Chain A
Amino acid sequence: MGAGLERMTGTANASHQAGRVKLEASAMFSKTNQDLSNEGTSFASPWMAVAWATSPSTYPYEEDGSWSTYFPVTNGTNPLQSLTYNYNKSNVTRSMNTLAATWNIWDNLNLRQSLSYDYINNTSNTLWDRRTGDGDDYNMLMQRVIATHERLNTQTQLTYAKTFNEVHNVDALLGFETEDYQYAWNYINGYDYPGLKPEFQNAGTTAAESGKDRSKMVSYLGRLNYNYADRYYASASYRMDGTSRLSRDNRWGSFWSVSGSWRFMQEAFMENIKNVITDGKLRASYGVNGTLPSSYYGYNTWYSYGWNYNGMAGIAEGNAGNPELKWEKNKALNIGLDLTFWNRLSMTVDWYTRTSSDLLMSKPISYVPGFNSASALMNVGELKNSGIEVELRSTNINTKDFIWTTSFNIGHNKNELVKLDGMQTQVIDGRLIHREGEAYNSFYLYEYAGVNPETGNEWYYINGDGEDAREKTEDLTKVNKIIAGSPDPVVQGGLTNYLKWKFIDFNMTLTYSLGGEAFNYATWQNTNGGYYNYVGAVPAFYDIDKMWKQPGDNAELPRFVYDNLYYTTQSSRWLMSTDYLRIKNLTVGFTVPTNWIKSAGLSKLRAYFAANNLLTWKSDDMVVDPEIPADGLCTFEAPALRTFTFGIEVGF
Chain B
Amino acid sequence: MKKNIFKTIVCGFAALALTSCANNWLDTEPSNGVGANGALSTDEDLYNVRTGMYYMFKGSSSYYDYYGARMWYYADVRGEDMQSEPSGSRTKSLYNFTYRTASDAPAIWTTPYRLIRRASRIIEAVEGGNITGDAAWIAEMGAEAKVLRALAHFDLVRVYGQTYTADNGASYGVPIVTSALDITATPGRNTVAEVYTFVENELNAAINSGALSTDITTGYVNEWAAKAILARVYLTKGDNANALSLAEDIINNGPYELWANDEYAAAWSKKNGSHLKEPILEIVMTGTTDWVDREGIANLYQESGYADMIMTKTFLNLMSEDMNDCRWGVMVAPKTDDFIEKYGEDRVFLNKYLAMNTFNSLPVIRLSEMYLVAAEAAAKTSDATKAAKYLNAIVLRANPNATPVAEADATVARISKERRKELIGEGHRLFDAMRNNETITRYTSEADQGYHAALNEEARSFDRTFFKVLLPIPQGELDVNPTIAAQQNPGY
A interface, CB within 8 angstroms of B: 176, 211-218, 220, 242-245, 248, 251-252, 296-297, 300-305, 307-322, 363-372, 374, 376, 378, 423-424
Given contacts A297-B29, A301-B36, A370-B181, could you give 20 more A-B pairs where the C-beta distance is less than 8 Å? A216-B28, A243-B26, A244-B28, A297-B30, A302-B33, A304-B33, A309-B55, A312-B51, A313-B48, A314-B53, A315-B34, A315-B48, A366-B185, A366-B186, A366-B484, A367-B109, A368-B113, A368-B187, A371-B114, A371-B117
Q: Which of B193-201, B244-252, B475-483 contacts A (4 or more CB under 8 A)?
A: B475-483
Q: How far is the CA of A304 from the CA of B186 in the complex (A)?
A: 25
Known: A297-B30, A376-B183, A423-B480. A370 touches B35 (CB 8 A): no
Known: A316-B49, A367-B113. A213 touches B34 (CB 8 A): no
Q: How far is the CA of A296 from the CA of B110 in the complex (A)?
A: 27
- Check B177 for interface membership: any CB of A closer than 8 A: yes
B49 A315 Cβ-Cβ under 8 A = yes
Which residue of the partner chain, among B32, B114, B182, B477, contacts A305 with CB atoms under 8 Å?
B32
Known: A244-B28, A297-B30, A364-B480. A314 touches B50 (CB 8 A): yes
Q: Which of B258-266, B285-293, B328-336, B393-401 contacts A (4 or more CB under 8 A)?
A: B285-293
B31 A211 Cβ-Cβ under 8 A = yes
Which residue of the partner chain, among B31, B32, B286, B481, contacts A368 with CB atoms under 8 Å?
B481
- Number of contacts between A and B (CB, 8 Å)? 176
Q: How far is the CA of A116 from the CA of B474 in the complex (A)?
A: 53
Q: How far is the CB of B320 from chain A (nearest CB, A)?
A: 39
**A-facing residues in B179-213 (Cβ within 8 Å):** 180-187
B116 A313 Cβ-Cβ under 8 A = no
B31 A366 Cβ-Cβ under 8 A = no
A368 B477 Cβ-Cβ under 8 A = yes
Known: A366-B186, A367-B109. A314 touches B51 (CB 8 A): yes
Which residue of the partner chain, among A251, A365, A378, contacts B23 with CB atoms under 8 Å?
A251
Q: How far is the CA of A248 from the CA of B22 in the complex (A)?
A: 11
Q: How far is the CB of A193 from chain B (nearest CB, A)?
A: 23
- Check B452 for interface membership: any CB of A closer than 8 A: no
Q: How far is the CB of A183 from chain B (nearest CB, A)?
A: 10
Indicate the size class of the contact surface on chain B.
35 or more
9 A–B contacts from the bound complex (CB under 8 Å): A218-B26, A242-B23, A310-B284, A310-B290, A315-B48, A364-B479, A367-B110, A368-B175, A368-B187
B35 A311 Cβ-Cβ under 8 A = no
B118 surroundings in chain A (CB, below 8 A): 316-317, 370
Which residue of the partner chain, among B33, B185, B476, B482, contacts A318 with CB atoms under 8 Å?
B33
B30 A370 Cβ-Cβ under 8 A = no
B185 surroundings in chain A (CB, below 8 A): 366, 368-369
B54 A314 Cβ-Cβ under 8 A = yes
- Check B128 for interface membership: any CB of A closer than 8 A: no
The CB with the most chain B CB atoms within 10 A, among A243, A252, A309, A376, is that of A309
B120 surroundings in chain A (CB, below 8 A): 370
B26 A369 Cβ-Cβ under 8 A = no
The CB with the most chain A CB atoms within 10 A, among B28, B53, B114, B185, is that of B28
B interface, CB within 8 angstroms of A: 15, 18-19, 22-23, 25-36, 38-39, 45, 48-58, 109-110, 113-118, 120-121, 175, 177, 180-187, 219-220, 284-287, 289-290, 474, 476-477, 479-482, 484
B26 A297 Cβ-Cβ under 8 A = no
Which residue of the partner chain, among B25, B183, B285, contacts A322 with CB atoms under 8 Å?
B183
Q: How far is the CA of A216 from the CA of B116 in the complex (A)?
A: 36
Known: A297-B33, A378-B183. A307 touches B476 (CB 8 A): no
Q: How far is the CA of A313 from the CA of B175 in the complex (A)?
A: 30
B58 surroundings in chain A (CB, below 8 A): 309
By beta carbon, the residue of chain B nearest A303 is B39
Which residue of the partner chain, among B29, B113, B476, contacts A370 with CB atoms under 8 Å?
B113
Known: A242-B26, A302-B33, A370-B116. A320 touches B39 (CB 8 A): no
A312 surroundings in chain B (CB, below 8 A): 48, 51
Q: How far is the CA of A213 from the CA of B484 in the complex (A)?
A: 39
Q: How far is the CA of A313 from the CA of B48 in the complex (A)?
A: 7
B117 A303 Cβ-Cβ under 8 A = no
B182 A369 Cβ-Cβ under 8 A = yes
Known: A251-B23, A368-B175, A370-B115. A311 touches B28 (CB 8 A): no
Q: How far is the CA of A346 from the CA of B58 in the complex (A)?
A: 73
B56 surroundings in chain A (CB, below 8 A): 307, 316
Q: How far is the CB of B30 from chain A (nearest CB, A)?
A: 4
By beta carbon, the residue of chain A nearest B48 is A315
A315 B22 Cβ-Cβ under 8 A = no
The CB with the most chain A CB atoms within 10 A, among B36, B183, B284, is that of B183
A423 surroundings in chain B (CB, below 8 A): 480, 482
A308 B289 Cβ-Cβ under 8 A = yes
Q: How far is the CB of A580 from chain B (nearest CB, A)?
A: 40
A304 surroundings in chain B (CB, below 8 A): 32-33
A316 B187 Cβ-Cβ under 8 A = no
Q: How far is the CA of A360 from the CA of B154 in the complex (A)?
A: 37
B30 surroundings in chain A (CB, below 8 A): 213, 296-297, 302
A310 B477 Cβ-Cβ under 8 A = no
B180 A369 Cβ-Cβ under 8 A = yes
Q: How far is the CA of A442 from the CA of B208 in the complex (A)?
A: 61
**Which 10 pairs show the lowest CB-CB distances between chains A and B?**
A370-B117, A314-B51, A316-B52, A302-B33, A314-B52, A369-B181, A307-B52, A303-B39, A212-B31, A307-B55
B290 A308 Cβ-Cβ under 8 A = yes
Q: How far is the CA of A424 from the CA of B22 in the complex (A)?
A: 39
B117 surroundings in chain A (CB, below 8 A): 317, 369-371
B26 A244 Cβ-Cβ under 8 A = yes
Q: How far is the CA of A372 from the CA of B111 in the complex (A)?
A: 9
A218 B22 Cβ-Cβ under 8 A = yes
The CB with the most chain B CB atoms within 10 A, among A217, A310, A320, A376, is that of A310
Q: How far is the CB of A374 from chain B (nearest CB, A)?
A: 7
Q: How far is the CB of A392 from chain B (nearest CB, A)?
A: 47
B121 A367 Cβ-Cβ under 8 A = no
Q: How far is the CB of B286 from chain A (nearest CB, A)?
A: 4
Q: How far is the CA of A212 from the CA of B30 in the complex (A)?
A: 7
Q: How far is the CB of B293 from chain A (nearest CB, A)?
A: 13
B51 surroundings in chain A (CB, below 8 A): 307-310, 312-315
Q: How far is the CA of A213 from the CA of B49 in the complex (A)?
A: 24
By beta carbon, the residue of chain B nearest A372 is B114
A242 B476 Cβ-Cβ under 8 A = no
The CB with the most chain B CB atoms within 10 A, among A244, A302, A367, is that of A367
A309 B290 Cβ-Cβ under 8 A = yes
A218 surroundings in chain B (CB, below 8 A): 22, 25-26
Q: How far is the CA of A364 from the CA of B115 in the complex (A)?
A: 19
Q: How far is the CB of B182 from chain A (nearest CB, A)?
A: 7
Q: How far is the CA of A273 from the CA of B285 in the complex (A)?
A: 90
A367 B52 Cβ-Cβ under 8 A = no
Q: How far is the CA of A220 from the CA of B484 in the complex (A)?
A: 47
By beta carbon, the residue of chain A nearest B220 is A310
Q: How far is the CA of A251 from the CA of B24 in the complex (A)?
A: 12
Q: How far is the CA of A63 from the CA of B32 in the complex (A)?
A: 55
Q: How far is the CA of A417 from the CA of B33 in the complex (A)?
A: 35
By beta carbon, the residue of chain B nearest A367 is B110
Q: How far is the CA of A322 from the CA of B182 in the complex (A)?
A: 8
A315 surroundings in chain B (CB, below 8 A): 34, 39, 45, 48-49, 51-52
A309 surroundings in chain B (CB, below 8 A): 51-52, 54-55, 57-58, 219, 284, 290
Q: How far is the CA of A493 from the CA of B476 in the complex (A)?
A: 43
Q: How far is the CB of B260 from chain A (nearest CB, A)?
A: 28
B55 surroundings in chain A (CB, below 8 A): 307-309, 314, 316
By beta carbon, the residue of chain B nearest A180 is B25
A310 B219 Cβ-Cβ under 8 A = yes
B52 surroundings in chain A (CB, below 8 A): 303, 307, 309, 314-316
B183 A369 Cβ-Cβ under 8 A = yes
Q: How far is the CA of A251 from the CA of B57 in the complex (A)?
A: 37
By beta carbon, the residue of chain B nearest A243 is B26
Q: How far is the CA of A216 from the CA of B21 in the complex (A)?
A: 13
Q: How far is the CA of A251 from the CA of B27 in the complex (A)?
A: 10
A303 B480 Cβ-Cβ under 8 A = no
The CB with the most chain A CB atoms within 10 A, among B45, B186, B480, is that of B480
